[in-house]
Structure 1
């Protein structure tokens, strides 16, 4: 009997011991799990803080051409894209304006000296200055809009099929003119700028074969007075719709059209806000998107040198989203034309040979 009681007692003691061990093990596991969760949480916070710090430490600067950041067009669109990157991506952003071409190199050097992570030059006119600085600073990242001539490992070239956008506004001009006379004012006759002209003239002629197209090269992107004079001369010669591809000079074109009570067509950005009752539409070139994309690429560690071309198919070029002055019927026609361009049914000329093969020698500015 004593032996039986002793056995029972020993079993009870062993059971209590096992429960105690089990309880201790569970508490220990819980404590370790809680500690690991806290460490993981703190690690996530630390990682997020580091990521935030990395983005806010990233500095991206741009250098304008002589049109200035408030040209209502090319440079302004670029700055708007960089501002969007600042707001959405948390980067630091800055622009330097060039009053003359003598400012290009000093402005780029300022951003280099201030240790900017990416320096974006707005316009082909900065190509020589950028090439010089990129070669001198191979560890720095650069980008340039509208120039594909720089083949360096630290330069991204942002290009656009602007002829596609100008074809669309040319088509609209051809369908809109009541006098069968449209105008085109260009800031400077170069291969890049002439693409606007080839596209525009082709669009006008395809929409209205009888239309006459007046053309003027102002030879400046920052002379509003010259732009206004050019447009006034076209008004005197019966033009009732004028497209400008002239940067800041184009503000003078728009002003002349407003005073004459005729249509103006803007460029690069949606210029309807400049003169809502005067701007028929705008040939949009999404420089803002290109600049934003480059900022994000640097932030994500995906920056690549070389040429990147934006097209109608990817939304890089188009007509402006403001369509208050366009009829539903014309908008439908334009959408059909866009679809044909994307499908390859309409080949928009962007060089002299292709243009003259179909339309003859009618482009006067190259």
Structure 2
């Protein structure tokens, strides 16, 4: 009887052992290793806004494709400010080791999430606190959008035939002021007599509002319009297309929106997100402030020789070199703009 019991126990152990071997994780034949997770929380406008959020997702998805055997990437869309906190919490709850917050409007919610989850890593685009208040588990990524906007402002100022250009912003204040001021400064640097119309839609996802604002600017004489308005900028492109005036895109190459695209100001969110995510995967993540401008290839513009003449490009190249060297410091706020414009008059 004892031998029979021992035999039955051995058989049971073998069966259980084989079942465990079939279902356990790992890199061998026993099963697939558990993938690490990175989740991105979008700002308002959605992941397919053809601008800011889409550029961020392009960077994260390319990172995911390159490391599909090790990591899974995903996104959660925010449709209003009320979505930020629960979306960040959901990303953590879903097991993301790295969570990206795309947009400065999530600053408070991101800070709270990072403080409450010190074992997770986070990244945020377009916002950073004072260095003394930076959290060790957050990568803060900020760009010198004013430098890239200055370059497309030069192009606008040298291209306009009516001496009248426009800027359409999404939400006033915050980072968008850098786009506005840099563009304004660039236009005036090469065309002091030009009029620069400025208006904000106070929305990132209102295409009709963008078209309405741009149409009014065109009716008031603008023949080049630059936007930093997320999905609202699609409406700006539509207005430029209908009126056959120049459109300047933002964040990514937006030439697909209209054949009248003169250029686009490139903001390389994709590269920043991909690079920092790669560092995280390789255990090299650094909680610090990353500042990316022309010198760091963090911003730039799309050059199309069929749209931008050699003479115009030569002027842009000259200014770009001076910005990179520090000879020219582009203003980043309306408070700095008057002194910069006065310095141009003195030259």
Q: Which runs of 4 or more aligned residues in structure 1 lie more than 6 Å from their structure 2 counterparts after TM superposition?
A: none
- Across the two proteins, how many residue pairs are aligned to each other? 310
**Larger Rg, first or second structure (1 or 2):** 1
> What stretches of structure 1 of length at least 5 have no aligned partner?
1-46, 361-366
Q: Matched residue of 1:352: which SS? A: coil
The CA deviation at 1:161 is 0.6
> What's the counterpart of residue 101 of structure 1?
81
Partner deviation per Cα, 1:304-327 (whole Å, 9 max, x = no partner): 112101111121100025554212
Selected match of 1:253 from 227, 236, 241: 236
Distance in 2 (CA, whole Å) between partners of 1:195 and 1:78 is 19
> What's the counterpart of residue 76 of structure 1?
54
Selected match of 1:220 from 189, 198, 203: 203
Selected match of 1:118 from 98, 104, 107: 98
Q: How does 1:169-318 map to 2 (within 5 A)?
A: 169-275=152-258, 277-318=259-300
RMSD: 1.9
The CA deviation at 1:329 is 2.4
Checking the alignment, whether the CA contact within 8 Å between 2:189 and 2:341 is kept in structure 1 is no
Checking the alignment, whether the CA contact within 8 Å between 1:270 and 1:321 is kept in structure 2 is no
Q: Matched residue of 2:221: which SS? A: coil
Checking the alignment, whether the CA contact within 8 Å between 1:264 and 1:278 is kept in structure 2 is yes
Checking the alignment, whether the CA contact within 8 Å between 1:268 and 1:282 is kept in structure 2 is yes
More helix by share: 1
TM-score computed with the length of structure 1 as normaliser:
0.81
The CA deviation at 1:220 is 0.9
Distance in 1 (CA, whole Å) between partners of 2:249 and 2:61 is 22
Distance in 2 (CA, whole Å) between partners of 1:80 and 1:265 is 21
The CA deviation at 1:328 is 2.4
Checking the alignment, whether the CA contact within 8 Å between 1:270 and 1:322 is kept in structure 2 is no
Distance in 2 (CA, whole Å) between partners of 1:157 and 1:272 is 29
Checking the alignment, whether the CA contact within 8 Å between 1:171 and 1:203 is kept in structure 2 is yes
Distance in 2 (CA, whole Å) between partners of 1:274 and 1:253 is 10
> What stretches of structure 2 of length at least 5 have no aligned partner?
1-25, 343-347
> What's the counterpart of residue 86 of structure 1?
64
Q: Matched residue of 2:336: which SS? A: helix
Checking the alignment, whether the CA contact within 8 Å between 1:281 and 1:323 is kept in structure 2 is no
The CA deviation at 1:48 is 9.3
Distance in 1 (CA, whole Å) between partners of 2:306 and 2:263 is 9
Distance in 1 (CA, whole Å) between partners of 2:202 and 2:142 is 22
> What's the counterpart of residue 341 of structure 1?
323
The CA deviation at 1:201 is 0.4
Partner deviation per Cα, 1:11-43 (whole Å, 9 max, x = no partner): xxxxxxxxxxxxxxxxxxxxxxxxxxxxxxxxx
- Worse-matched range after superposition: 177-186 or 144-153: 144-153
Q: Matched residue of 1:121: which SS? A: strand
Q: Matched residue of 2:175: which SS? A: helix
Cα 1:106–1:259, aligned 2, differ >3 Å: closer, same or farther? same
The CA deviation at 1:105 is 1.4
Checking the alignment, whether the CA contact within 8 Å between 1:61 and 1:95 is kept in structure 2 is yes
Distance in 1 (CA, whole Å) between partners of 2:297 and 2:306 is 20
TM-score computed with the length of structure 2 as normaliser:
0.85
Distance in 1 (CA, whole Å) between partners of 2:65 and 2:306 is 29
The CA deviation at 1:339 is 1.0
Distance in 2 (CA, whole Å) between partners of 1:257 and 1:75 is 23
1:134 lines up with 2:114 in the alignment: yes
